[in-house]
Amino acid sequence: MDDANKAANSAPGMMQNMADDAERMLVQVKALGKRVNRQDTISTLLVVGLTILAVILGALVRNSVVNKTTTYTDAAKLQITYPAGWVLSDTGADTGTAGQITVSNQKAGAAPVRFEVQRVAVDASTPVTSSLGVVANGLTATRARNLSSYKVLSTEAFTGSGKQPLQIKGLPGYKTSFVYVNTPNSALQGNIPSVILGEDWLVLKGDKVYVFTLHSTQANRDTALPLFETFVDSAQLP
Protein backbone atom coordinates (compact mmCIF):
# COMPACT_ATOMS: atom_id res chain seq x y z
CA MET A 1 0.00 0.00 0.00
CA ASP A 2 2.83 2.32 0.94
CA ASP A 3 4.52 1.64 -2.35
CA ALA A 4 1.33 2.40 -4.13
CA ASN A 5 0.93 5.68 -2.29
CA LYS A 6 4.50 6.64 -2.98
CA ALA A 7 4.01 5.88 -6.63
CA ALA A 8 0.83 7.88 -6.70
CA ASN A 9 2.51 10.82 -5.00
CA SER A 10 5.60 10.72 -7.19
CA ALA A 11 3.68 10.36 -10.46
CA PRO A 12 3.00 14.09 -10.89
CA GLY A 13 6.67 14.77 -10.15
CA MET A 14 7.77 12.24 -12.75
CA MET A 15 5.33 13.67 -15.22
CA GLN A 16 6.69 17.11 -14.52
CA ASN A 17 10.26 15.88 -15.02
CA MET A 18 9.33 14.19 -18.29
CA ALA A 19 7.60 17.34 -19.47
CA ASP A 20 10.67 19.39 -18.59
CA ASP A 21 12.91 16.94 -20.43
CA ALA A 22 10.65 17.03 -23.44
CA GLU A 23 10.64 20.81 -23.39
CA ARG A 24 14.42 20.94 -23.18
CA MET A 25 14.71 18.47 -26.03
CA LEU A 26 12.27 20.50 -28.07
CA VAL A 27 14.30 23.65 -27.51
CA GLN A 28 17.47 21.79 -28.47
CA VAL A 29 15.86 20.39 -31.60
CA LYS A 30 14.58 23.84 -32.54
CA ALA A 31 18.03 25.34 -31.97
CA LEU A 32 19.60 22.58 -34.03
CA GLY A 33 17.01 23.11 -36.73
CA LYS A 34 17.75 26.83 -36.85
CA ARG A 35 21.47 26.18 -37.01
CA VAL A 36 21.03 23.58 -39.74
CA ASN A 37 18.70 25.80 -41.73
CA ARG A 38 21.11 28.71 -41.40
CA GLN A 39 23.95 26.47 -42.53
CA ASP A 40 21.89 25.17 -45.45
CA THR A 41 21.00 28.70 -46.46
CA ILE A 42 24.63 29.84 -46.37
CA SER A 43 25.68 26.72 -48.29
CA THR A 44 23.06 27.38 -50.96
CA LEU A 45 23.95 31.05 -51.22
CA LEU A 46 27.61 30.09 -51.62
CA VAL A 47 26.75 27.77 -54.51
CA VAL A 48 24.56 30.42 -56.14
CA GLY A 49 27.24 33.08 -55.68
CA LEU A 50 29.97 30.82 -56.98
CA THR A 51 27.92 29.97 -60.06
CA ILE A 52 27.19 33.62 -60.77
CA LEU A 53 30.88 34.46 -60.35
CA ALA A 54 31.89 31.63 -62.69
CA VAL A 55 29.40 32.73 -65.34
CA ILE A 56 30.61 36.34 -65.08
CA LEU A 57 34.18 35.13 -65.57
CA GLY A 58 32.96 33.06 -68.50
CA ALA A 59 31.35 36.16 -69.99
CA LEU A 60 34.68 37.98 -69.66
CA VAL A 61 36.38 35.12 -71.49
CA ARG A 62 33.72 35.35 -74.18
CA ASN A 63 34.16 39.09 -74.57
CA SER A 64 37.90 38.67 -74.87
CA VAL A 65 37.60 36.25 -77.77
CA VAL A 66 34.54 37.26 -79.78
CA ASN A 67 36.31 40.16 -81.43
CA LYS A 68 39.63 38.37 -81.71
CA THR A 69 40.87 37.87 -85.26
CA THR A 70 43.55 35.97 -87.11
CA THR A 71 45.39 37.17 -90.19
CA TYR A 72 46.49 34.99 -93.07
CA THR A 73 48.58 35.98 -96.06
CA ASP A 74 48.95 33.65 -98.99
CA ALA A 75 51.87 33.34 -101.39
CA ALA A 76 50.37 35.94 -103.74
CA LYS A 77 50.22 38.50 -100.88
CA LEU A 78 46.46 38.34 -100.52
CA GLN A 79 45.81 39.04 -96.85
CA ILE A 80 42.61 38.16 -95.06
CA THR A 81 41.52 38.71 -91.47
CA TYR A 82 38.97 36.32 -90.04
CA PRO A 83 37.50 35.44 -86.61
CA ALA A 84 40.00 33.64 -84.43
CA GLY A 85 39.26 29.98 -83.98
CA TRP A 86 37.76 29.54 -87.40
CA VAL A 87 39.33 26.85 -89.53
CA LEU A 88 41.25 27.98 -92.60
CA SER A 89 41.87 25.95 -95.70
CA ASP A 90 43.89 27.16 -98.68
CA THR A 91 43.49 25.00 -101.75
CA GLY A 92 45.75 26.98 -103.98
CA ALA A 93 44.33 30.43 -104.48
CA ASP A 94 47.92 31.62 -104.58
CA THR A 95 48.26 30.07 -108.01
CA GLY A 96 46.37 33.07 -109.28
CA THR A 97 43.56 31.46 -111.18
CA ALA A 98 42.48 28.35 -109.33
CA GLY A 99 41.66 27.20 -105.83
CA GLN A 100 40.28 29.16 -102.98
CA ILE A 101 40.81 30.15 -99.37
CA THR A 102 38.05 29.04 -97.05
CA VAL A 103 37.46 29.97 -93.43
CA SER A 104 34.62 28.54 -91.38
CA ASN A 105 33.52 28.12 -87.80
CA GLN A 106 33.37 24.35 -88.12
CA LYS A 107 33.02 23.80 -84.39
CA ALA A 108 29.78 25.78 -84.34
CA GLY A 109 27.77 22.65 -84.97
CA ALA A 110 25.44 21.53 -87.67
CA ALA A 111 25.47 24.52 -89.99
CA PRO A 112 28.73 26.43 -89.85
CA VAL A 113 29.19 29.79 -91.50
CA ARG A 114 31.72 29.73 -94.34
CA PHE A 115 33.62 32.52 -96.04
CA GLU A 116 35.52 31.89 -99.26
CA VAL A 117 37.91 33.92 -101.33
CA GLN A 118 38.89 32.99 -104.83
CA ARG A 119 40.37 34.94 -107.66
CA VAL A 120 39.85 34.77 -111.37
CA ALA A 121 42.18 36.23 -113.99
CA VAL A 122 40.44 38.45 -116.53
CA ASP A 123 41.45 40.46 -119.52
CA ALA A 124 42.33 43.92 -118.19
CA SER A 125 41.27 45.52 -121.45
CA THR A 126 37.70 44.26 -121.15
CA PRO A 127 35.16 46.74 -119.76
CA VAL A 128 34.79 46.51 -115.99
CA THR A 129 31.15 45.51 -115.83
CA SER A 130 31.67 42.95 -118.52
CA SER A 131 34.58 41.32 -116.67
CA LEU A 132 32.63 41.14 -113.44
CA GLY A 133 29.52 39.84 -115.20
CA VAL A 134 31.47 37.13 -117.00
CA VAL A 135 33.01 35.89 -113.75
CA ALA A 136 29.63 35.99 -111.99
CA ASN A 137 28.02 34.01 -114.78
CA GLY A 138 30.83 31.48 -114.66
CA LEU A 139 30.24 30.98 -110.94
CA THR A 140 26.54 30.58 -111.54
CA ALA A 141 27.09 27.95 -114.21
CA THR A 142 29.52 25.99 -112.00
CA ARG A 143 27.24 26.06 -108.99
CA ALA A 144 24.20 25.13 -111.02
CA ARG A 145 26.05 21.93 -111.94
CA ASN A 146 27.44 21.15 -108.49
CA LEU A 147 24.84 22.32 -106.01
CA SER A 148 21.37 21.04 -105.35
CA SER A 149 18.45 23.37 -106.12
CA TYR A 150 20.80 26.28 -106.80
CA LYS A 151 19.03 29.51 -107.69
CA VAL A 152 20.28 33.05 -108.15
CA LEU A 153 18.07 35.39 -106.13
CA SER A 154 19.42 38.74 -107.26
CA THR A 155 22.35 40.49 -108.86
CA GLU A 156 23.59 44.01 -108.31
CA ALA A 157 26.09 45.74 -110.56
CA PHE A 158 24.87 49.28 -110.17
CA THR A 159 23.65 51.31 -107.26
CA GLY A 160 21.44 54.34 -106.64
CA SER A 161 18.95 56.03 -108.90
CA GLY A 162 21.76 57.26 -111.11
CA LYS A 163 22.82 53.72 -111.79
CA GLN A 164 26.34 54.33 -110.59
CA PRO A 165 28.66 51.33 -110.84
CA LEU A 166 28.69 49.42 -107.59
CA GLN A 167 31.77 49.98 -105.42
CA ILE A 168 33.20 47.47 -102.98
CA LYS A 169 36.36 48.38 -101.08
CA GLY A 170 36.50 51.46 -103.30
CA LEU A 171 36.84 49.27 -106.39
CA PRO A 172 34.38 48.20 -109.09
CA GLY A 173 32.14 45.56 -107.59
CA TYR A 174 29.31 43.15 -108.31
CA LYS A 175 26.99 41.33 -105.92
CA THR A 176 25.01 38.15 -106.32
CA SER A 177 22.65 36.54 -103.84
CA PHE A 178 21.89 32.88 -104.23
CA VAL A 179 20.35 29.93 -102.49
CA TYR A 180 20.91 26.18 -102.59
CA VAL A 181 20.16 23.05 -100.60
CA ASN A 182 23.08 21.65 -98.67
CA THR A 183 23.56 17.92 -98.28
CA PRO A 184 24.49 16.80 -94.76
CA ASN A 185 28.07 17.32 -93.72
CA SER A 186 27.76 16.58 -90.05
CA ALA A 187 26.55 13.71 -87.98
CA LEU A 188 24.09 16.02 -86.29
CA GLN A 189 22.32 16.86 -89.49
CA GLY A 190 21.63 13.31 -90.46
CA ASN A 191 19.78 13.09 -93.72
CA ILE A 192 18.11 16.41 -93.25
CA PRO A 193 19.10 18.90 -95.92
CA SER A 194 19.43 22.55 -95.05
CA VAL A 195 18.82 25.64 -97.11
CA ILE A 196 21.92 27.79 -97.48
CA LEU A 197 21.80 31.46 -98.36
CA GLY A 198 24.84 32.78 -100.14
CA GLU A 199 26.38 36.05 -101.19
CA ASP A 200 29.05 36.61 -103.83
CA TRP A 201 30.83 39.94 -103.67
CA LEU A 202 33.10 40.40 -106.65
CA VAL A 203 35.84 43.02 -106.74
CA LEU A 204 37.94 43.88 -109.76
CA LYS A 205 41.51 44.95 -109.20
CA GLY A 206 43.96 45.00 -112.09
CA ASP A 207 43.61 41.84 -114.07
CA LYS A 208 42.02 39.85 -111.24
CA VAL A 209 38.49 39.52 -109.99
CA TYR A 210 38.41 38.63 -106.31
CA VAL A 211 35.30 36.72 -105.32
CA PHE A 212 34.28 36.84 -101.65
CA THR A 213 31.54 34.36 -100.83
CA LEU A 214 29.38 33.88 -97.75
CA HIS A 215 27.51 30.64 -97.02
CA SER A 216 25.12 30.60 -94.07
CA THR A 217 21.73 29.30 -93.05
CA GLN A 218 18.79 31.61 -92.60
CA ALA A 219 19.08 31.12 -88.83
CA ASN A 220 22.61 32.43 -88.54
CA ARG A 221 22.58 34.90 -91.40
CA ASP A 222 21.98 37.93 -89.19
CA THR A 223 25.12 37.10 -87.24
CA ALA A 224 27.13 36.08 -90.28
CA LEU A 225 26.50 39.03 -92.59
CA PRO A 226 28.21 41.70 -90.43
CA LEU A 227 31.16 39.35 -89.95
CA PHE A 228 31.33 38.86 -93.71
CA GLU A 229 31.27 42.60 -94.33
CA THR A 230 34.15 43.03 -91.89
CA PHE A 231 35.94 40.12 -93.56
CA VAL A 232 35.67 41.74 -96.99
CA ASP A 233 36.57 45.21 -95.71
CA SER A 234 39.68 43.96 -93.94
CA ALA A 235 41.00 41.94 -96.87
CA GLN A 236 44.09 43.44 -98.48
CA LEU A 237 44.31 42.77 -102.16
CA PRO A 238 47.78 42.60 -103.75
Partner 1 sequence: MNVQAIRVRLSAWRTELSYIIGLLVFVGIVELIVLVLNPQLSGFWLGLVSLLLAIIPAAIWLSVFYSVDRVEPEPKQYVIGVAVLAALLAATIGQPLINGYFKVPEWIGTDTISEILGSILIIGFIEAFLIYATVRFSIFYSSEFDQRIDGVVYGSAAGLGYAAMLNILTVVSNGGIDLGAGVIRIVVTQMVHGALGALLGYFLGRDKFDKERVWWMSIGVVLAAVLYGLYSWLSGEITQAGISLSNNINGYNPWPSLILGTVFAIVVLGAVFTLVNRDLRADMGLPPTVATTTSTTTTTTTTSTP
Q: What is the C-alpha R_g of the chain?
A: 36
Indicate which single residue of 33, 138, 184, 238 sits in contact with partner 1 (rule: CB under 8 A).
184
Indicate which single residue of 74, 80, 83, 204 sits in contact with partner 1 (rule: CB under 8 A).
83
State which of positions 206-225 bind partner 1 (CB under 8 A). 223
Helix (H) or strand (E) holding 55: helix 2-66
State which of positions 89-108 bind partner 1 (CB under 8 A). 105-108
Report the distance separating Cα 209 and Cα 223, nearest Å. Answer: 27
Indicate which single residue of 28, 43, 71, 159 sits in contact with partner 1 (rule: CB under 8 A).
43
Using CB under 8 A as the binding rule, whether residue 61 contacts partner 1 is answered as: yes
Report the distance separating Cα 165 and Cα 174, nearest Å. Answer: 9
Angle at 90 between CA 135 and CA 197, to 5 degrees: 55
Do residues 237 and 218 lie in contact, with contact meaning Cβ atoms separated by under 8 Å? no
Smaller CB separation from partner 1, 14 or 48: 48
Indicate which single residue of 44, 89, 91, 130 sits in contact with partner 1 (rule: CB under 8 A).
44
Site string for partner 1, 142-181 (x = CB under 8 A): ----------------------------------------
Using CB under 8 A as the binding rule, whether residue 68 contacts partner 1 is answered as: yes
Indicate which single residue of 7, 19, 29, 65 sits in contact with partner 1 (rule: CB under 8 A).
65
96: left (phi over 0), alpha (psi -120 to 50) or beta: left
Indicate which single residue of 160, 170, 187, 222 sits in contact with partner 1 (rule: CB under 8 A).
187
Strand, coil or helix: what is 73? strand
Q: Is 46 exposed, middle or buried (0-12, 13-18, 19+ CB in 10 A)?
A: exposed
Q: Which residues contact partner 1 by CB under 8 A?
A: 36, 39, 42-44, 46-48, 50-51, 54-55, 57-59, 61-62, 64-66, 68, 83-86, 105-110, 184-192, 223
